[in-house]
Amino acid sequence: MPLTAQEAFELSKQFRDLANTLADRRFSSWSTLTPTQRRDMEDEEWSLLNSSSDMITKAVGLALDESDASIDSIKKSIKKAKSAIKKLEKVSQIITIAAAAVGLGAAIVSKDPGAIAKNAKLVLDSTKVLSA
Amino acid sequence: MRHHQTPAVFMKLTMVVSTLLFLGLTQGCVDLKAVQDFANISAESAEYTTLVDNYMDFPQRQKRYQSEDRHAQLEAMAQERLTQQTELLLRHNVIEEYMEALGRLAADEIVDQSEELSQLTTKLQNQAGTSPAETEAFGKIAGVLTNAIGDKWRKRQIQELIERSNDPFQIIVNSLKQIVVEGFGGDDQNERFAIQSYYRTKIAQSSDPAGIAALMEWQEHRENHVAGHTDTIQAYAAILEKISAGHQQLYDGRNDLSKDQLIQSIKKSAKELKDILSSIKKI
């Protein structure tokens, strides 16, 4: 079963805890240890520490992999939002709707059913253009 | 003249009121300033990538404490981290770009109507056959209508954007938060361990009181530096938490973005984000 980012981070902590335990032991028993024993223990500590750091690197890579699909998805959303912004910037389309709406208002006041239907269709069509 | 104009003006006013009722007032304008402010400060927060630089530099700093026979291993680690740099910065960039788009969509100033409105005024003049003063008045009202329609469309776009993006956005922000807390935070703990192990060993091996005092000062200096970095990590994790929670609130309240409770809450989040970001920049 492949490792998850969370599991890899957990492993990095365990390596670090082991390095800490070993270092505590080395310093608390300093006077009773031979120079060789001290050096060997210290070597193990650095190895454990580097394993912890390597595991962090691995975990970061896994976390990046795990969120790759979401990155693609959000990029699509950004693209769509930018397109919407461009549309908003194309005020002429909005103005078209406003003009059509004013025409509809005039038709309603004049109580001309034909003009109301025609202008209502214009408003509807303009809105569709903007929503496309 | 006044007798001839009054019914015409009345009729036109009625027309305008009808139109406003039809399109403007029934749709209502939305106060998106809070969304805009929250999005802008979130985008600015995502620009902060110093923590990534520190993550890249970690193996080099370790060389300071570890013997030369381990430098090749640290160099390999540095190379592997380097391959992640673009992807890490992409997370920051995507959050920044998304929030910028959201903020821009919520911005009122996006619609510059000056030229187009003057064209509309001409159209109205031809259509309604009004006097210059009335044409000007219609032009202004057209502006109100434009805003009303633009607002409705804009609101729907924002709702759709938030709705479509919330799930992937939460995954990206939470993943980055995990990397910051567990990864960058883990590096700090490892660096603290390396400093302590290195200096304690040197101190234990030394019998020179002046040398020991100097070593202890350096140890303290290095540890303080790491402690400051850990504070930044915690503050940045809080920023990501607030961005995530704020976007979730927008998602939950997307059908009524003008709700006072939501606006107040988003305004509060934006202010807190601003304060934390400001504190990070001072560290």
Q: Residue-wise pLDDT tens for chain A (132 aa)?
A: 789 999 999 999 999 999 999 999 999 999 999 999 999 999 999 999 999 999 999 999 999 999 999 999 999 999 998 888 887 766 556 666 666 676 777 677 677 777 777 777 777 776 665 555
Q: B66: domain range? A: 2-282
> What is the value of pTM for the model shown?
0.78
Q: Report the distance separating Cα B138 and Cα B120, nearest Å.
A: 9
The residue with greater pLDDT, B63 or B30, is B63
Question: Token digits for A71?
Answer: 């990155």
* d(CA A3, nearest CA chain B) in Å: 16
pLDDT at B134: 61
Structurally, chain B folds into a number of domains equal to: 1
Cβ within 8 Å, pair B190-A92: no
A54, A109, A128: best mutation site toward chain B, by most B Cβ within 10 Å? A109
pLDDT digits (tens, 9 = 90+) for B166-178: 999 999 999 999 9
pLDDT digits (tens, 9 = 90+) for A48-72: 999 999 999 999 999 999 999 999 9
pLDDT digits (tens, 9 = 90+) for B227-267: 999 999 999 999 999 999 999 999 999 998 888 889 999 99
Q: Using an 8 Å Cβ cutoff, are B171 and B228 in contact?
A: no
Nearest alpha-carbon partner for A53 in A9, A7, A18: A9
Q: Please, what is the average pLDDT of chain B?
A: 84
In the block, residue with structure tokens 């910028």: B100
Cβ within 8 Å, pair A108-B18: yes
**pLDDT band, very low/low/confident/very high, at B150 (cuts 50, 70, 90):** low
B197, B202, B251: best mutation site toward chain A, by most A Cβ within 10 Å? B197
- Does B71 have pLDDT greater than 50? yes
Residue B199 main-chain phi, psi, to 5 deg: -75, -40
- Does B21 have pLDDT greater than 60? no
The residue of chain A nearest to residue B100, with distances taken between CA atoms, is A78
pLDDT at B146: 61
- Does B110 have pLDDT greater than 70? no
pLDDT at A85: 83
pLDDT at A112: 75
Q: Report the distance separating Cα B96 and Cα B85, nearest Å.
A: 17
